Amino acid sequence: MPRLKGRVTLASVASSAGVSVATVSKVLNGRPDVSPVTRAEVQEILQRHGYVRRRQDPVQVQVQRDSVELFYQGVLSAYCVEVIEGVVEAAQVAGVDVVLNRHPPHPQTSSSRRAAQWIRELASAGRRAAIGITSQLADADLAALSRARLPLVVVDPTDISQPDVASVGSTNFAGGMAAAQYLLSLGHRRIGYVGGPPTSGCNRARLSGFRSAMEEADAEVLPQHIWLQDFLYDDGLAGGAVMLDRPDRPSAVFAGSDEVALGVLEAARSLGLRVPEDLSVVGFDDTHVARLASPPLTTVKQPLREMGAVALRTALHLAAGEKVDSHHVELATTLIVRGSVAPNRYPSAAAS
């Protein structure tokens, strides 16, 4: 690496090391919250370029607070909002800032160029780590993050083919099983599932738990009663409109998210079906929209705020070069019973 030209400053050292001025300042002041690898690299650059600390250098004044990049893909859903609240609350306790952005930030560029530009921006802004919400990153993004030694934690990863990425989720399989078992206990046998993308890891787990409970009860899952699209209201509306407008319609629907469940409720209303008298509906997440639904939505509760808090704490541990107890953390789900479910009125047939 060539020597830096001109007077060596904290800014020039930070630029050469690919870190923030705040990080260089921490190394000079002996702060412990810098990873050993980064500390060694910064110290090597300082020594190689003969840096001389001056009294008026920025190390003598208050430095910028550490920050974490928090990003999401697609629309900012009710689910995302609650995870964000958990991240922000934990960040306040930890004394770090959170910067929220939509990813990818440069959609017009190629994957490799976009990734490189994105990481340069994060490094120059002094980010210590990145947290993604239900995000699927390209290989170029992961490679760029790794080169920059910028830790990544994903909440509810959508791509299960990236097992090396640290992640935080919930017991999705157990939640799907609990939803189906509750509906089965009320006499429902013909139960539909309206959920997210077939490639989504959390969606697969919820659907697998649902299928497992149905198979255990010897209740058939009909292909026409499975609708996989996305976790949004419009997907529930479209799936519900198709599934409920059939002579063999289900008497109950398990939705992969609360927003999907609200779409199913509207589809039922438009078809003249009453909830829960004619159709029972169970959601997933327990966001604020579940409590505002009419009727209030029975749902599988994910501890979304705690998931966000765990993601933030994990990201900071990794940024400090510390080991974490587990590369993937799953928090427990709980079934919350409200007014959108009732016993099956058609015990001999799911619907009539």
How far apart CA 247 and CA 177 sit, in angstroms, is 26
Indicate yes or no: pTM above 0.75.
yes
Q: Is the pLDDT of residue 7 over 90?
A: no
Q: Is the pLDDT of residue 241 over 90?
A: yes
pLDDT for 160 = 59
Mean pLDDT of 191-213: 95
pLDDT in tens, 56-85: 444 444 446 789 999 998 888 999 999 999
SS3 assignment, position 191: strand
**Window from 19-28, 189-198, 247-256 with minimum mean pLDDT:** 19-28
Residue 161 exposed, middle or buried by CB count within 10 Å (0-12, 13-18, 19+): exposed
Q: What is the mean pLDDT of residues 323-344?
A: 94
* CA-based nearest residue to 318, from 169, 177, 179, 154: 154
At 166 the pLDDT is: 92
- Per residue in 319-328, pLDDT (tens digit) is 988 888 888 9
> pLDDT-based confidence at 347, cuts 50/70/90?
low
Query: Which domains does the chain show, CATH number per domain?
Result: 10-60 (1.10.260.40), 67-170+304-331 (3.40.50.2300), 172-302 (3.40.50.2300)
Mean pLDDT of 211-218: 98
Distance of alpha carbon 196 from alpha carbon 228, whole angstroms: 5
In the predicted structure, residue 30 carries a pLDDT above the cut 90: no
Q: Give the largest Cα separation in the chain, rounded.
A: 86
Beta carbons within 10 angstroms of residue 43's beta carbon: 15
Q: Which residue has the higher pLDDT, 34 or 231?
A: 231
> What pLDDT, on the 0 to 100 scale, is given for residue 162?
64
Rounded to whole angstroms, what are the CA distances from 294 to 170, 262, 288? Answer: 26, 9, 13
Secondary structure element (H or E) that encloses residue 194, with its range: strand 191-195
pLDDT-based confidence at residue 351 (cuts at 50, 70, 90): very low
pLDDT of residue 161: 59
Of 183-197, 232-246, 269-283, 311-325, which gets the smallest average pLDDT? 311-325
What CA–CA distance (Å, rounded) separates 50 from 324?
36
**What is the mean pLDDT of the segment spanning 185-214?**
95
**Is residue 239 exposed (0-12), middle (13-18) or buried (19+ Cβ within 10 Å)?**
buried
Q: What is the pLDDT of residue 54?
A: 53
Asked if 118 and 141 touch (Cβ cutoff 8 Å), the reply is yes
Average pLDDT, the chain: 87
Name residue, tokens 């810098």: 34
Judged against a pLDDT cut of 60, whether residue 348 lies above it is answered with no
Contact 103, 73 (CB under 8 A): yes
The answer to whether the bond into 104 is cis (omega within 30° of 0) is yes
Q: Is the dihedral of CA 39, 41, 47, 49 positive or negative?
A: negative
Cβ neighbours of 212 (radius 10 Å): 16
What pLDDT score does 1 carry? 47
The whole-number pLDDT of residue 350 equals 45
